[in-house]
Structure 1
Amino acid sequence: MTIGSNVISSDRVEGTTVYNPSGDKLGSIDDLMIDKVSGQVRYAVLEFGGFLGMGTDRYPIPWNMLKYDTSQDGYVVPLDKATLDGAPRYADSSVPDYDDNYTSTVNKYYGF
């Protein structure tokens, strides 16, 4: 089976570095949240903060905010670290239910 150039396996997305427009590394993609009905990726969960993977928080970012940059071999989001500091987040051990209330909170934070 041949996979087209516009398609990527989720395990290749996970671990990909995320940068801001200035080229600063913000973190890496830890997980993807996929809509069960449409099959569309709704959120990339950014792993950010902590030290050596300890104390790292997860930040769900609407998928349509990420743009792949081939020159950086990573995704770019129009965010800075200060914006992420105030963003909805959770610890790896306490993944929230991505219900209407939670997704509404995330979407409102990012202006969607």
Structure 2
Amino acid sequence: MTTQTGHTEAIAASRVIGTSVYNTEGTHIGDIEDVMLDKLSNGIMFAVIGFGGFLGIGEKYHAIPWASLDYDENKGGYVVPFTKEQLKTAPAYSINELTGADGEAARDASYNYYKVEPYWH
């Protein structure tokens, strides 16, 4: 699965986790906390982005479709093509909710909300 600018090279998940994420205005919105993999289709379901909170308290987690993240070398992080308002009103989850029902509920809600073509179709 390629990103908007065509990045297709492999990267270890351990290098992705902890990477900063920015919105289209260039504002740091959070960090990649984890990556959810679809074991049956071999696809990347979504990146788990942590927003807000302090020392893990009050933090919200969002499922962002992997194809929406585009690495920006100048920023040293990923950029998502969403506005602050879109991200603010996006579905938010606890870590347990993200992994519940094999992650499909969060995955489906995320792809629907952000209007991203599902990789599993």
For this structure pair, what is the TM-score category when the shorter chain's length is used for normalisation?
0.7 to 0.9
Residue of structure 2 in register with 1:39 after alignment: 42
Residue of structure 2 in register with 1:79 after alignment: 82
**4+ runs of 1 displaced by more than 6 Å?**
none
The question of 1:50 aligning with 2:46 is answered no
TM-score (norm 1): 0.84
> Could you say which structure has the higher helix fraction?
2
Residue 59 of structure 1: how far off its partner (Å): 0.1
Residue of structure 1 in register with 2:114 after alignment: 110
Matched-pair contact (CA < 8 Å) for 2:24–2:80 = yes
TM alignment of 1:1-112, pairs within 5 A: 6-95=9-98, 96-97=100-101, 98-99=103-104, 101-112=105-116
TM-score (norm 2): 0.78
Report how many residues are paired: 107
Tell me the C-alpha RMSD between the 2 structures.
1.8
Q: Percent of aligned pairs with the same residue?
A: 40
Distance between the aligned counterparts of 1:104 and 1:17, measured in 2?
24
Distance between the aligned counterparts of 1:46 and 1:28, measured in 2?
6
